[in-house]
Amino acid sequence: MNTAMKELKKVGRELTLLMNTAALLGWDQETLIPEKAIPERAEQLALMEGISHAKLTDPKVGDLLDKLGADEKSSSGNENLSDEDRAYIRVFYRNYHRASCLPSDLVEEMARASSLGQSVWVQARKENDFGKFAPALEKILGLNREAGRLINVGDHPYDSFLDEYEPGMRKAELDVTFGALKEDLKSLVKRIKDAGQVEMGFLKRDYPEELQEKFGNYILKELAYPLDRGRLDVSTHPFTTTLGNHDVRITTRYGEPNPFSSLFSIIHEAGHGLYELGFSDEIAGNILAEGTSLGLHESQSRTWENMIGRSLPFWEKYYPEAQKTYGNALSDISLETFYKGINAVKPSLIRVDADEVTYSLHVILRYELETALFEGTLSVNDLPAAWNAKMEELLGIRPDSDANGVLQDVHWSVGLLGYFPTYALGNLYGAQFMDKAYKDVPDLDDQVRKGNHAVLLEWLRENIHKHGSAFTASELCVNVTGKPLDASYFTQYLNKKYGEVYGL
């Protein structure tokens, strides 16, 4: 078994290097690539996907897993192996099993369609023309439906893709969780609306992009994001990508209607990046060195963005620097007015700009539309109208354009179907983890008020980051908090915070 384990880890290391190389090609496409190079980049990415798929599904890998005792009943392998090796085998077996269901030509075609789809989406968004994107989405959806049929996880066509990003989660479970969450959030939104809006007119003042960039970089350094292990760039849609153990890159975008949108995007992506940079030395560079689920990953980004970055203690520390940076735009605005303004609850068209209360309603909207697309009860051509109707139902507003509606997110264009629910799950995990962090570190607010973010980062490193995917998200939640995922932590957090902001 020792020989088989060494061979398996050798294959795993090669797969990690291939994945990181493909990620570099993807990062370049999002940030620097010349427009005319995109079709060839699609071929390059398709080739990388094909090589990785062939290596992962090589019959020799199946033989190694057999020798290590891994099968459907015991995916972690032989019980005599170490806990770390059994975790490694569990993750490898899952990847192998999913990949083995898919022929290489389908994998390459999906990669090609996603790369081309992303470039078509960018143009369609610029031109506010969903019809230009619809054929690409139809193809991506068709390829994914076929892949889901072959993988055949769960009882619903959507389960195979939900399981890709949130292992073990199923649509039936999510329907219950999101159904209750939706009603709770709609109720809170109504109470806030009835209370009257806080002052937020100062957000419409002039905040030059070069000053947004300056302040954003300042905050990034304050959060101890190691720029000798990463970098910050600009892209159409903010994202984080891992190119290696010491190379995790984040992006933001400037020029948004809310001048602090770029800042919160930076904090959000830094949360993702700090997670990726926090894996223990024992697993660095192997397949355990990744987030155990996207919901868990999102818990890290949204914790830093919202529970820290939009908190009063955070701005007690950094508001004087913001006033210094932006001058007249904030000189007459008190800290209390600023804090309430950046936490204003106001239904908006754009998900990434949504406040904490309405954000999960944006996610639920996408979840409900995605599942309808997979079921075939909604056609691609009818998607814009369905999107607009659901926006009105959940948020009481109607998009003024496709660019601000159905075309606002990059996810569908790159084949990330089943991804959206993880954003709302991240809110739930994050609130539950932070409840435990405050119990373990009672003076956490005081530390944030001093700008000592290392205290929280060290807690996250020890309890969450260092483990990578050695534990599943559900296991990690119980290990850290002593309880399974419970949405009530999030709703309690929202009611307390926004009860104070709006005097409810």
The strand pairing partners of 252, in sequence order, are 234
Q: Report how far residue 381's alpha carbon sits from residue 334's, in angstroms, rounded to the nearest whole number.
A: 48
CA atoms within 13 A on the CB side of 338: 24
Q: Are strands 230-234 and 247-252 parallel, antiparallel or unpaired?
A: parallel
Catalytic residue from among 49, 269, 276, 305 = 269
Q: How far is CA 157 from CA 145, 235, 301, 421, in A?
A: 7, 32, 29, 15
The strand pairing partners of 250, in sequence order, are 232, 240
Angle value at C-alpha 428, between 248 and 165, nearest 5 degrees: 50
298 is catalytic: no
Closest to 264 in 3D by CA, of 234, 221, 301, 235 = 301
Closest to 413 in 3D by CA, of 265, 239, 183, 206 = 239
How many other β-carbons are positioned within 10 Å of the β-carbon of residue 289? 21
Residue type, 503: G
The strand pairing partners of 247, in sequence order, are 244
The strand pairing partners of 240, in sequence order, are 250
Tell me, letter by letter, the H, E, C secondary structure of 254-304: CCCCCCCHHHHHHHHHHHHHHHHCCCCCCCCCCCCCCCCCHHHHHHHHHHH
The helix or strand, by DSSP H or E, that contains position 455, with its residue range, turns out to be helix 454-463
Sheet of 230-234: strands edge to edge? 230-234, 247-252, 240-244
C-alpha Rg value of the chain to the nearest Å:
23
* Residues annotated as part of the active site: 269
